[in-house]
C-alpha cells in the first residue's frame, strides 16, 4: 500500500477548508478543490483567518504559518485532483457523491484511497458504482475540523480493513481521536445529535420556549453550545440536509422528522454564520 504524501479535499466550504488546514498543519502536501471559484476564495480566506487567529494567540509562529500556507494548493480544475488520499466534503447527496468519486477514480491509481466526509449516507451506497470499492472509506470530521479532536471512521461492506488502519494511523498523527463506526445511517454522532436538534426545534414549534432560552438552558446544563447556535455554526442548510437524509434512510421515522421552521430558514437563505443570519444575526 502506497505511502500517503498528498491529500486532496473536494469542497471548499467550512468543513473542506478546515480539513485542508488540518492536513497542511500535519505536513502533508494538500490540494483544496472546489468547482465554484467564489467558494474556493472563501475557503482560502477561511484558512488564512484561522491561521492568523492561531498566530495572534501565540499558538503558531509566523514561519510555521507561512510554511503551512505553502503546503496548500487551491484549484477549481478537477483534473488536478491527483493524490494518495482524496476526501470529499461536498453536498450531502448520494448521486453527486457517486458522480464525483467515479470521476476522480479515473484520474487516480487503484491504490488511491477515496474517503467521504458524509454525515449520514451509508458508505456501501456511495461505493456501489465506484471501481475498486474496497478503497472507499468514511472519514467524518466534526466542525470546526482544526479544533474538534473526534473523527468517525466508517467501513462500508467492501472496505479493506488495511485501508481503515492506514487512515486511523494517519489521523492519529494529526492529533485526532478516532472512533470506529458501523455503516448505519448517521453513524454514531449524527444519529444521537439529530434528536438534540429535532426535539429542540419541536419545542420551538410548540411555543414552549424561545430558541434563545432553549440554548441558554442547554448550555447551562453543560452543553458547550445550544442547538440553535450549533446549527448556525454548522450551517442551517447543511444541518437540515442531514436531518432529511437520516429521516428518509430510517423510513421516515417520526423521531427524525425535519422541522418546518428550519426549512423556512433554508428557503429564505438564512443559513447561519456563513450568510450573516440564521436563528441569530451576525456581523
Structurally, at CATH architecture level, domain 6-181 sits in 3-Layer(aba) Sandwich (3.40)
Given this model, what pLDDT does residue 129 score? Answer: 85
**Cβ of 45: how many Cβ atoms within 10 Å?**
12
Given this model, what pLDDT does residue 143 score? Answer: 85
Bridge partners (DSSP) of residue 102 are none
Cβ(256)–Cβ(201) under 8 Å?
no
CATH 3.40.50.720 location in the chain: 6-181
Catalytic residue among 46, 108, 190, 259: 190
Given this model, what pLDDT does residue 283 score? Answer: 81
- Is 119 annotated as catalytic? yes
- Is 271 annotated as catalytic? no
User: pLDDT below 50 — which residues of the chain?
Assistant: none
Dist CA 8 CA 116 (whole Å): 12
- 41 vs 46, 49, 80, 120, CA distance in Å? 8, 12, 17, 27
- Per-residue HEC secondary structure of the chain comes to CCCCCEEEEECCCHHHHHHHHHHHHCCCEEEEECCCHHHHHHHHHHHHHHHHHHHHCCCCCHHHHHHHHHCEEEECCHHHCCCCEEEECCCCCHHHHHHHHHHHHHHCCCCCEEEECCCCCCHHHHHCCCCCHHHEEEEEECCCCCCCCEEEEEECCCCCHHHHHHHHHHHHHCCCEEEEECCCCCCCHHHHHHHHHHHHHHHHHCCCCCHHHHHHHHHHCCCCCCHHHHHHHHCHHHHHHHHHHHHHHCCCCHHHCCCHHHHHHHHHCCCEHHHCECCCECC
Given this model, what pLDDT does residue 3 score? Answer: 87
Catalytic residue among 46, 108, 140, 200: 140
CATH 1.10.1040.50 location in the chain: 192-275
pTM of the model as a whole: 0.88
- Is 152 annotated as catalytic? yes
Given this model, what pLDDT does residue 95 score? Answer: 94
Given this model, what pLDDT does residue 138 score? Answer: 97
Given this model, what pLDDT does residue 1 score? Answer: 64
CATH class of 192-275: mainly alpha
Catalytic residue among 119, 160, 241, 259: 119
- Is 67 annotated as catalytic? no
Catalytic residue among 88, 92, 117, 152: 152
Amino acid at each position: 500500500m502506497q505511502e500517503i504524501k498528498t491529500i486532496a479535499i473536494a469542497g471548499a466550504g467550512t468543513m473542506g477548508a478546515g480539513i485542508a488546514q488540518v492536513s497542511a498543519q500535519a505536513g502533508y502536501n494538500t490540494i483544496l478543490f472546489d468547482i465554484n471559484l467564489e467558494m474556493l476564495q472563501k475557503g482560502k480566506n477561511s484558512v488564512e483567518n484561522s491561521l492568523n487567529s492561531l498566530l495572534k494567540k501565540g499558538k503558531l509562529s509566523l514561519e510555521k504559518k507561512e510554511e503551512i500556507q505553502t503546503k496548500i494548493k487551491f484549484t477549481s480544475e478537477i483534473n488536478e485532483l491527483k493524490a494518495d488520499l482524496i476526501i470529499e466534503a461536498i453536498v450531502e447527496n448520494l448521486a453527486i457523491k457517486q458522480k464525483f468519486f467515479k470521476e476522480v477514480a479515473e484520474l487516480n491509481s487503484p491504490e488511491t484511497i477515496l474517503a467521504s466526509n458524509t454525515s449520514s449516507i451509508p458508505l456501501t451506497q456511495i461505493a456501489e458504482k465506484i471501481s475498486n470499492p474496497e478503497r472507499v472509506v468514511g472519514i467524518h470530521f466534526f466542525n470546526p475540523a482544526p479544533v474538534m479532536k473526534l473523527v468517525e471512521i466508517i467501513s462500508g461492506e467492501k472496505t479493506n480493513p488495511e485501508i481503515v488502519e492506514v487512515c486511523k494511523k494517519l489521523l492519529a498523527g494529526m492529533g485526532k481521536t478516532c472512533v470506529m463506526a458501523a455503516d448505519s445511517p448517521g453513524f454514531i454522532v449524527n444519529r444521537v445529535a439529530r434528536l438534540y436538534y429535532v426535539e429542540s426545534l419541536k419545542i420551538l414549534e410548540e411555543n414552549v420556549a424561545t430558541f434563545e432560552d432553549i440554548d441558554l438552558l442547554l448550555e447551562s446544563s453543560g452543553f458547550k453550545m445550544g442547538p440553535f447556535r450549533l446549527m448556525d455554526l454548522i450551517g442551517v442548510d447543511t444541518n437540515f440536509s442531514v436531518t432529511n437524509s437520516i429521516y428518509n434512510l430510517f423510513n421516515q421515522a417520526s423521531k427524525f422528522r425535519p422541522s418546518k421552521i428550519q426549512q423556512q430558514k433554508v428557503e429564505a437563505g438564512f443559513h447561519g454564520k456563513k450568510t450573516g443570519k440564521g436563528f441569530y444575526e451576525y456581523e
